[in-house]
C-alpha cells in the first residue's frame, strides 16, 4: 500500500510531536536528521524483508520493522558512478552526460595513460544550467553534511556539497544541536568482495543457498552466492554500529533513515544489466516516530527522486531543474509516478547502448548495438569465479536455454517482459502478437523520454568531450566580483548558476555563501560549479 502522506504533516506540525529525550541540546521544532545507509551492489533478492530466509540480518530486519519497505525502488543505471550522479543531483545521467562508466577518475593528470585503455581523458561533464549537488541546499539551511568514504559521482565534486567527505565522517563532528545529513557507504558487499573474500569464512553453507533459474547449479556458483550472503552479514554488523550510535545519542527515534542498494547485485546478469536483477534495489525508509512502521509501499521510486525527497523532508522546496520528484515531505508530489527509465552505455573499456522503460507490470528494453552480447567482456567482472565458469559452460554448450540467454553472442533489438508473471525476465514478448499494442505504447514512451530529457547517449563520447573541454581542459569559472559597503561585503558571480563559497584562511571547510559577509576580518572566496575548474580565490579584505 502507498504510505500516507504523514510526512507533510510532520514537517508542518513538528512542534506538536513529543520530542525524544536527547543527550544533546536542540532547539524547538528542529529540522529532521537524515541518514543514508548505502549498500554497494545488492538486489532485494537476498534480504529477509523481501522474503529470503537464507541469512538472518537482525539489524536490517529491525530497521524494516520500524520503517517502510519499498517493493519498486530502482536505480536509473545498473552500475555505481552513473547511478550516484543521479542520487546527488536528482537528474538522469543521460541528461547530465554522466551516463558512461566512468568519466571522472580522481588523481589522473594531463598526460597520464588513457583511462581504461581508451583514448579519452578523465573529465567532468558540464552539466545543464542550474544543476547542483543537492547537499548544498541543506548546508544553506544550516545542516551539517557529511559523506564517506565513497564519492564516485562521475564528476569532480564541488566544495559546496559537504562539510566533510572522508572515511571518518560522522554527525558527531557537527555543532551541538545542528541538524545533519550523513551518508555511510558500505563497500563490504561490493562486487570485488566476491573474489577478494572468496577464501574467507562463510556464514552460510553453499549447499543451503537458493540458485535463480538463470544460473547453473554448480559448486562455483553456490560458493560465490554464499560469499555474498556472508558479506551481507558483515554489512548488517556495520549497519548495527551506526544504529547503535544513533540510539546512544538519543537521535534514532526522530531521525529519518534510508537504507538502499546503489544498484542491483554483484553477479553476472545483475550489475550492468537492465533486467530487474541490475536495476531493482532494496529500500527501507524509517520515518520519525516510526510512522507507518512495518508497512510496505509499491510506488515506483527512482534515484532521481531521492534528492528532491530529502530536500522536501527538510522543508526545502526542490529546485525546478530536478527531474525527480519529492515522494515525501512538505513538497510531496501529488502525481503518481507511472514509469521509471534506465540506461546502459560504456562500462569501463567497452561501449554499448541500451535504454529501458519500466512500470509495475512491464519492462521494455531497446538495444542500439544488437551485434554484441549482453555479457560484455568487462575485464573487472572477468575476475569473478562465477563469471569464468559461465564462460566455460557457455562455450561447451552446457547451459540450458534460460542460463544461456544472457551469454548469447548477439541480443535482440527489442525486449518486452511482463515482470509480474516473469520476474526473472526470461521470456521476451516483443514478438508476441497478443501484446503488440503494449510493445508499441512502451516503444513510444521510451522514445518520447529520450527526446524530452535530451538523452546524450546518441553522441560519441569524444564528441561530447570536445564540446565540454577547451583544449582538453575543464573551463575555468570567471573571477568573483565584490561590492564593499560600510559594514559588509557582497560577492557576485559572473556565472549565474555557479555557487559562491568562502572560508577564513585557517579553515579547511568552505561555507556556502548566502548573505553578505562582514568586512572586519580576512576571508577567502571563490565560485564552484560541476564541470568547471574553480575560479581563482579572492582575498576579500585586500580589495
By annotation, the residues acting in catalysis are 80
From the CB of residue 93, how many other CB atoms can be counted at a distance below 10 Å?
30
Contacts of 248 (CB under 8 A, 6+ apart): 23
CA distance 39 to 259: 8
Q: Which three cell numbers stand for residue 532?
A: 568547471
Q: Where are the beta strands (DSSP E) in 424-510?
A: 481-484, 488-492, 499-503
User: What is the dihedral sign for C-alpha 138, 142, 143, 147?
Assistant: positive
The strand pairing partners of 481, in sequence order, are 492
Which is nearest to 365 in space by CA: 275, 481, 304?
275
User: In 91-218, which ranges are continuous DSSP H helix?
Assistant: 93-96, 135-140, 192-196
Q: What is the DSSP letter of 287?
A: P
CA distance 163 to 436: 53
**Cβ contacts of 218-225, under 8 Å, gap ≥ 24:** 218/389, 218/393, 220/385, 220/386, 220/389, 221/386, 221/389, 223/198, 223/385, 224/194, 224/198, 224/267, 224/384, 224/385, 224/386, 225/267
CB 259 within 8 A of CB 73: no
The strand pairing partners of 37, in sequence order, are 184, 259
Amino acid at each position: 500500500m502507498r504510505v500516507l502522506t504523514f510526512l507533510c504533516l510532520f514537517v508542518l506540525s513538528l512542534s506538536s510531536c513529543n520530542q525524544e529525550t536527547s543527550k544533546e541540546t536542540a532547539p524547538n521544532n528542529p529540522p529532521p536528521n537524515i541518514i543514508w545507509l548505502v549498500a554497494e551492489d545488492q538486489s532485494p533478492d537476498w534480504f529477509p524483508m523481501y522474503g529470503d530466509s537464507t541469512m538472518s540480518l537482525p539489524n536490517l530486519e529491525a530497521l524494516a520493522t520500524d520503517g517502510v519497505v519499498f517493493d519498486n525502488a530502482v536505480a536509473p543505471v545498473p552500475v555505481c558512478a552513473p547511478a550516484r550522479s543521479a542520487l546527488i543531483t536528482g537528474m538522469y545521467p543521460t541528461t547530465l552526460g554522466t551516463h558512461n562508466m566512468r568519466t571522472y577518475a580522481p588523481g589522473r593528470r594531463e598526460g597520464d595513460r588513457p583511462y581504461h585503455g581508451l583514448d579519452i581523458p578523465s573529465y567532468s561533464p558540464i552539466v545543464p544550467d542550474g544543476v547542483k549537488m543537492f547537499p548544498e541546499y541543506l548546508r544553506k539551511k544550516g545542516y551539517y553534511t557529511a559523506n564517506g568514504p565513497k564519492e564516485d559521482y562521475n564528476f569532480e565534486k564541488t566544495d559546496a556539497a559537504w562539510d566533510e567527505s572522508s572515511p571518518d565522517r560522522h554527525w558527531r563532528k557537527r555543532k551541538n544541536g545542528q541538524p545533519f545529513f550523513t551518508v555511510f557507504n558500505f563497500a563490504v558487499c561490493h562486487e570485488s568482495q566476491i573474489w577478494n573474500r572468496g577464501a574467507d569464512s562463510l556464514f552460510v553453507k553453499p549447499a543451503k543457498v537458493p540458485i535463480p533459474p538463470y544460473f547453473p547449479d554448480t559448486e562455483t556458483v553456490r560458493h560465490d552466492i554464499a560469499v555474498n550472503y556472508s558479506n551481507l552479514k558483515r554489512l548488517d554488523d556495520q549497519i548495527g554500529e551506526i544504529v547503535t550510535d544513533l540510539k546512544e545519542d538519543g537521535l534514532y527515534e526522530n531521525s529519518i533513515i534510508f537504507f538502499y542498494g546503489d544498484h542491483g547485485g554483484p553477479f553476472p546478469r545483475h550489475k550492468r544489466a537492465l533486467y530487474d536483477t541490475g536495476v531493482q534495489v532494496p529500500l527501507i525508509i524509517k520515518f520519525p516516530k516510526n510512522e507507518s512502521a512495518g508497512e510496505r509501499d509499491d510506488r515506483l521510486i527512482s534515484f532521481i527522486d531521492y534528492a528532491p525527497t530529502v530536500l522536501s523532508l527538510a522543508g526545502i522546496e526542490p529546485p525546478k531543474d530536478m527531474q525527480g520528484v519529492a515522494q515525501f515531505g512538505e513538497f510531496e508530489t501529488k502525481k503518481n509516478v507511472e514509469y521509471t527509465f534506465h540506461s546502459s552505455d560504456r562500462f569501463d573499456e567497452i561501449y554499448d547502448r541500451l535504454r529501458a522503460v519500466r512500470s509495475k507490470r512491464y519492462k521494455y528494453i531497446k538495444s542500439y548495438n544488437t551485434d554484441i552480447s549482453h555479457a560484455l567482456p568487462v575485464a573487472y567482472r572477468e575476475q569473478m569465479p562465477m563469471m569464468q565458469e559461465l564462460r566455460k559452460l557457455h562455450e561447451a554448450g552446457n547451459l540450458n536455454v534460460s542460463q544461456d540467454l544472457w551469454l548469447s553472442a548477439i541480443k535482440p533489438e527489442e525486449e518486452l517482459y511482463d515482470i509480474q508473471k516473469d520476474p526473472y525476465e526470461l521470456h521476451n514478448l516483443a514478438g508476441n502478437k497478443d501484446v503488440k499494442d503494449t510493445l508499441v505504447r512502451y516503444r513510444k514512451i521510451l522514445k518520447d523520454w529520450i527526446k524530452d530529457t535530451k538523452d546524450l547517449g546518441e553522441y560519441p563520447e569524444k564528441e561530447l568531450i570536445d564540446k565540454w573541454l577547451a583544449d582538453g581542459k575543464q573551463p575555468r569559472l570567471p573571477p568573483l566580483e565584490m561590492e564593499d559597503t560600510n559594514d559588509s561585503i557582497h560577492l557576485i558571480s559572473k556565472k549565474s548558476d555557479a555557487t559562491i563559497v568562502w572560508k577564513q584562511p585557517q579553515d579547511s571547510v568552505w561555507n556556502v555563501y548566502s548573505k553578505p559577509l562582514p568586512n572586519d576580518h580576512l576571508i577567502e572566496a571563490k565560485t564552484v560549479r560541476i564541470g568547471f575548474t574553480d575560479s581563482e580565490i579572492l582575498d576579500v579584505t585586500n580589495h
